[in-house]
Amino acid sequence: MPAKGHRSPLSPADLRYCQHYAVSLVQKTAYLAANPNYRGKNADKLGNALMRRQVIKDEIKRLVAAGCRRNEIDADLVLQELRKIATSDLRALFDEHGHLKSLSDVDDEMAVVVNSIETRSEVDDNGKVTHVSKVRIWDKLKALELLGKHLALFAADVNVGASPEDIRQWRQEGRDRVAPKKSRAKR
């Protein structure tokens, strides 16, 4: 906030944009929410233009940091949650008979990995009711990828030391090896 008596470099619409962007993280959505009377089709471009202003970036950074402090979110928490997803074992969701456990019976470590559960009941011709549950979990591979990036396990630019000509030659050799097998399979 500016000191008393000093004018803010942000207009009320700019401030609303920053507040909405800090929540949605989508430029077009934030622009439309901050400018409810705007009826044009360029909200994404106008939001992008706002994001080029350093004062807008600084205000969004301040709002996001304040929200994180308020909600007690820090890097450790994010990494802990990603670790739970990345190291999860789906067997913990089922009992010894292979039936889905009640969520109250699932430990906190495992409950984190559940994205959603849909349950429906089906009745067969004999009147027998069967409950079918569809469990969606958070993407384990994505969690591993994010942790790997955090730990700098992946090289940003891989150089195999081969020239474009070498790569073309290897591709042709591979095609030549596969072509005879395909022609034999057709006989």
pLDDT by residue (tens digit) across 10-65?
999 999 999 999 888 889 999 999 998 888 889 989 999 999 999 999 999 999 88
pLDDT confidence of residue 60: 92
CB 82 within 8 A of CB 146: yes
Q: Are residues 19 and 64 both part of a single domain?
A: yes
26, 46, 73 — which closes off a domain? Answer: 73
Do 69 and 85 lie in a common domain?
Answer: no
Q: Are residue 30 and residue 17 in the same domain, yes or no? A: yes
With respect to residue 181, please indicate whether it lies within any of the assigned structural domains: no
Question: How many of the other CB atoms lie within 10 Å of CB of 85?
Answer: 20
124 located within any domain: yes
Give burial (CB, 10 Å; 0-12/13-18/19+) of 16: middle
Domain boundary among 26, 54, 73: 73
Beta bridge mates, 130: 122
Q: Does any domain span residue 83?
A: yes
Let me know whether 90 and 119 are in one domain: yes
Same domain, residue pair 82 and 68: no
The answer on 120 and 93 residing in a single domain is: yes
31 shares a domain with 16: yes
Number of domains the chain is built from = 2
Residue type, 56: I
Q: Are both 85 and 125 inside the same structural domain?
A: yes
Sequence-ordered list of residues with C-beta below 8 angstroms from that of 126, at least 6 positions apart, any chain:
none
Asked if residue 31 belongs to a domain, the reply is yes
For the question of whether the overall pTM of this predicted structure is more than 0.75, the answer is no
Long-range CB pairs of 73-79 (<8 Å, 24+ gap) are 79/147, 79/150
* Residue 6 located in a structural domain: no
Q: What are the beta bridge partners of residue 105?
A: none
48 and 85 in a single domain? The answer is no
Same domain? For 66 and 119 the reply is no
- Domain interval for residue 127: 77-147
For each of the chain's 187 residues, which pLDDT tens digit applies? 545 555 568 999 999 999 999 888 889 999 999 998 888 889 989 999 999 999 999 999 999 888 888 888 888 888 899 999 999 999 999 999 988 998 889 998 898 899 998 989 999 999 999 888 899 999 999 999 988 888 888 766 556 667 778 777 877 887 777 766 555 555 5
**Structural domain ending residue among the three candidates 50, 73, 96:** 73
| 66 domain residue, yes or no | yes
